[in-house]
A and B are shown apart, each in its own frame.
Chain A
Amino acid sequence: MKNTITLVDGEASVDLNDPWELVLNQECSGQYCVEPSAIWLSRPASDRGAAVLIEQEQELHDIQPYLQDIRLVALMFKDFKDGRAYSLAYLLRTRFGYKGELRAVGDVLRDQLSLMRQCGFTSFAIKEGKDPYDALKGIKGLSVTYSSSVSSPSPLFRRVRRY
């Protein structure tokens, strides 16, 4: 995927040579295919790649048993105004213990990146036509967050001493 921002140890950088490719309808070849989870699940175990794509309306039960073997889960934002993938990210990280790369794909824009990061995303395929270097500025977000989140599992009142 072109124009990808990756977080490594909390540091964000633009990766112009990201190898992963979204493969929606055609046959997958090579080891860097990200294909819809339904197609992925329909393959015999030996034919499955290392990455799946999950749509915002999907349930996670089917894929759950395989999460430990998956290197990359891509969550699709069909429209940046549809926030379902934030909850899916939370569930993958907090409830299902997914430790691999979690990538936002689709309508992925600068002004939502910090929210995605806080919900457990670790890489961001910036929408085509948008400058990934500009988008980089959206990773940090505000320095104060009140609520708990995947990236800071305690709410502010337990994280710091407030007077």
Chain B
Amino acid sequence: MYQYDDYDRALVKERVAQFRDQVARYQAEELSEEEFLPLRLQNGLYLQKHAYMLRVAIPYGVLSTKQLRALADIGDRYDKGYGHFTTRQNIQYNWVKLSKVPDILAYLAEHDMHAIQTSGNVVRNVTTEAFAGVAEDEVYDPRIFAEIIRQWSTINPEFLFLPRKFKIAVSATEEDRAAVRIHDVGLYLHRDESEALYFKVMVGGGLGRTPYISKLLNDRLPWCDLLSYLEAILRVFNRYGRRDSKYKARIKILVNTLGIDAFKQEVEQEFQQIAKEPNRLTDSELSRIASQFLPAVYQRLDETDLGFATRLQNNEAFSNWYNLNVRKHKVSGYRSVVISTKFPNNIPGDVTSEQMRGIADLAERFGFGEVRVTHEQNLVLPDVPNTALFQVWMQLNELGLGVSNHTLLSDMIVCPGASYCNLATAHSFPVAEQVVQVFSLEEQQDIGPVSMNLSGCINSCAHHHIANIGMLGLNKSQTDHYQITLGGRQGTQSRLGKVLGPAIAESELPQAIRMLFDVYRRHREVKESFIQVVDRIGLAPFKDALYQEKSV
């Protein structure tokens, strides 16, 4: 992972001192509530229903085991013994005290971490896929560009009071496992005929009450001009993005009001006028950043191992887990392990301090001391030799983290909901649990891969729009209701789900979801996934199943 140098370290330390002073001035009433608000947000601090919430940055979801242990310590010392991993690959603590926050930030800084720009109307944590650097299908390691963007956007003085938050994601694969197209700016890394890197730049994605999949802004941006191009986009956004309504302030609204062609013209015009030399990325900067990532030293292993193969044959539970939660690796004999943080054992994204330490142990014993966070709120051990997989699985089971449900219906993205969040209208976690409980693991395996996300309000933190089945909590006549969307997906061919019909009462939701899967099972052909069936037969049969009874 990226190793801080003295500059990185000085910046986070000075930032802690700056914020400590701001907190003290706020507590001494030298800073008003209004003046303090953006300062605390830019340091990751929200005020939630019951307490302050601190969101700590995990740049592009990469953690060293030392850092993971530090996060576990923070959970013990300043929270209730756990943390919640988010769809921006960050972690948040729900029960912190304002007076302790400077100490938490100082502790983070000691471990080369921070909470800078995890909130506020700024460029947020840059995300990429959890398998960056170990995926067999990537054209280049996207973490290197994500780190370059992280540095460029961190306390960039022109862009700290944007109309609204600004999210950037990078992907270097054809599949796109980073939900790039729901980002304000999405970057697809490609190679041209002569192997030179370039970006396809997408703009104007975002969910919330007006969801959009991003549009193509530039189909061939040379990698070296990335920073000037981002600068052009952000300057246009900063100057012309709407500021009169929070809900119309994201860049997606500007893009769609102007139209992509006119928006593109604005950006091109700005880009042409920027003197590009100062910010032009060089080969040496690229290799310097790459070298800061300290590449793992892999052993020469055979792709198959007799002991491992025997285990797979003789142990069905292990083999199930292997098939679902273990991914191919670019190096022979290695695999990446997806650790499920989901129901039935866990609350989606919630991981206890004890579990964090257990995962850190595993990453040290069997990996290279690195852990990743996925945007689906799971954790990943990126480099596990196949000979160690059985032991890893046994250990994960002991930690309550060995559930074989990656990509299955219980691998849900769920927001914290009204139990914590001021904005939420619905209590997401218990409802998601009730839905999942209806299906045994065997049944889930029979249904196969499907994404099912649940958001507690229209802000759509759980990305329900791009789930195969999306559930959105609404408050309707005293009881919580859920609107169901169908057909959404992430990836290069992202699509927004369509609303099936009137919202369903909370108590009827589990059965409604069961009906959808019954329709799927009636219609599926061999090896056809849920989303493939939706594509083939359309929404009507699902609608009929769900609403027929009521209309009779």
20 contacts between A and B (CB under 8 A): A80-B38, A81-B121, A83-B121, A83-B158, A83-B159, A86-B160, A116-B157, A119-B158, A142-B14, A144-B8, A144-B11, A146-B156, A147-B151, A147-B155, A148-B279, A155-B227, A155-B278, A158-B278, A162-B5, A162-B7
A143 near B14: Cβ-Cβ < 8 Å: yes
- State the CA gap A87–B158 with chains docked (Å): 6
Q: Which chain B positions have C-beta within 8 A of A86?
A: 157-161, 238
Known: A81-B38, A154-B278. 6 other contacts (CB 8 A): A83-B158, A83-B161, A84-B239, A111-B39, A119-B157, A146-B11
> Are the CB atoms of B15 and A142 closer together than 8 Å?
yes
Residues of chain B lying within 8 A (CB to CB) of residue A92: none
The proximity string for A residues 6-42 relative to B, scoring 1 for CB distances below 8 Å and 0 otherwise, is: 0000000000000000000000000000000000000
Interface residues of B in 1-33 (CB under 8 A from A): 5, 7-8, 10-11, 14-15, 18, 22, 30-31
Q: Is A90 part of the contact surface with B, judged by Cβ < 8 Å?
A: yes
Q: Mark interface residues in A116-159 (1 if CB within 8 Å of B CB, else 0).
A: 10110000000000000010000000111111110001111110
CB under 8 Å from chain A, chain B span 68-121: 121
Residue numbers in B under 8 Å from A155 (CB-CB): 152, 227, 278-279
A131 to B275, CA, bound (A): 39
Mask for A62-73, Cβ within 8 A of B = 1, else 0?
000000000000
Given A148-B278, A155-B278, A158-B278, decide whether A115 and B18 contact each other with a Cβ distance below 8 A.
no
- Most B CB within 10 A of own CB, among A112, A114, A160: A112
- Write the chain A residue with the least CB distance to B148: A157
CB <8 Å contact, B151 and A156: yes
**B-chain residues with CB within 8 Å of residue A84 when the two chains form the complex:** 238-239
| B161 lies within 8 A of A145 (CB) | no
Partner of A153, one of B151, B152, B155, B278: B278
Min Cβ gap A159→B in Å is 10
Within 8 Å of chain A (Cβ to Cβ): is B288? yes
A80 cross-chain contacts in B, Cβ below 8 A: 35, 38, 161
Nearest-Cβ distance from residue A143 to partner chain B, whole angstroms: 6
Residues of B within 8 A of A88 (CB): 239
B380 at the interface (CB under 8 A from A): no
* B161 and A82 contacting across the interface, CB-CB below 8 Å: yes
Given the interface pairs A146-B155, A147-B156, the reply to whether A82 lies near B278 with Cβ below 8 Å is: no
Cβ-based interface call for B273 (8 A): yes
**A/B pair count, beta carbons within 8 Å:** 96
Chain B residues in contact with chain A, CB under 8 A?
Answer: 5, 7-8, 10-11, 14-15, 18, 22, 30-31, 35, 38-39, 121, 151-162, 227, 235, 238-239, 243, 273, 275, 278-279, 285, 288
B158 close to A90 (CB less than 8 A) = yes
Q: Which of B5, B154, B158 has the most chain A CB atoms inside 10 A of its CB?
A: B158
Q: Which residues of A contact B (CB under 8 A)?
A: 80-84, 86-88, 90, 94-95, 109, 111-112, 114-116, 118-119, 134, 142-149, 153-158, 160, 162-163
Q: Which residues from chain B contact A149 at a C-beta distance below 8 Å?
A: 156-158
A-B CB proximity, top 7 nearest: A83-B161, A115-B157, A118-B157, A144-B11, A146-B151, A147-B156, A142-B14
Known: A144-B7, A144-B10, A157-B285. A111 touches B22 (CB 8 A): yes
Provide the bound-state CA to CA distance between A116 and B239, in Å.
16
Q: Would you call B158 and A160 a contact (CB within 8 A)?
A: no
Q: Contacts of A153 on B, CB cut-off 8 Å?
A: 278
B153 proximity list for chain A (CB < 8 A): 147
Q: Shortest distance in angstroms between A160's beta carbon and chain B's nearest beta carbon?
A: 7
> Do A114 and B157 touch (CB < 8 A)?
yes
How far does the Cβ of A157 sit from chain B's closest Cβ, in whole Å?
5
Of B39, B155, B279, B288, which is in contact with the most chain A CB atoms at under 10 Å from its CB?
B155
Task: Looking at the assembled complex, report how far the CB atom of B494 sits from the nearest CB atom of chain A, in whole angstroms.
Answer: 30
Q: A154-B278, A162-B7 are in contact. Are A145 and B238 (CB under 8 A)?
A: no
Report how far A109 CA is from B38 CA in the complex, Å: 13
Distance of A119 from chain B, by nearest CB (Å): 5
- B161–A157 contact, CB under 8 A? no
Contact A142 B155 (CB under 8 A): yes
How far does the alpha carbon of A83 sit from the alpha carbon of B235 in the complex, in Å?
10
- Least Cβ distance of A147 to chain B in Å? 4
Question: Given the complex of chains A and B, what is the CA–CA distance between A115 and B279 in angstroms?
Answer: 19
A82 to B35, CA, bound (A): 13
- Contact, CB under 8 Å: A87 / B157: no
Q: Which residues of A contact B11 (CB under 8 A)?
A: 142, 144, 146
Which of B5, B35, B155, B160 sits near A109, CB closer than 8 Å? B35
Contact present for A115 and B160 (CB under 8 Å) = yes
Which residues from chain A contact B38 at a C-beta distance below 8 Å? 80-81
* Chain B residue nearest to A131 in the complex (CB): B30
- Given the complex of chains A and B, what is the CA–CA distance between A134 and B239 in angstroms? 30
Cα A88 to Cα B239 with chains together (Å): 8
Contacting residues, chain A, for B238 (C-beta < 8 A)? 83-84, 86-87
Rounded to whole Å, the gap between the CB of A68 and the closest CB of chain B is 19
Q: What's the nearest-Cβ distance from chain A to residue B122, in Å? A: 9
- Residues of A close to B15: CB separation below 8 A: 142
Please give me the residue from chain A that is nearest to B237 by CB atom.
Answer: A87
B331 → chain A closest CB, angstroms: 28
How long is the Cα–Cα vector from A32 to B465 in the complex, in angstroms? 57
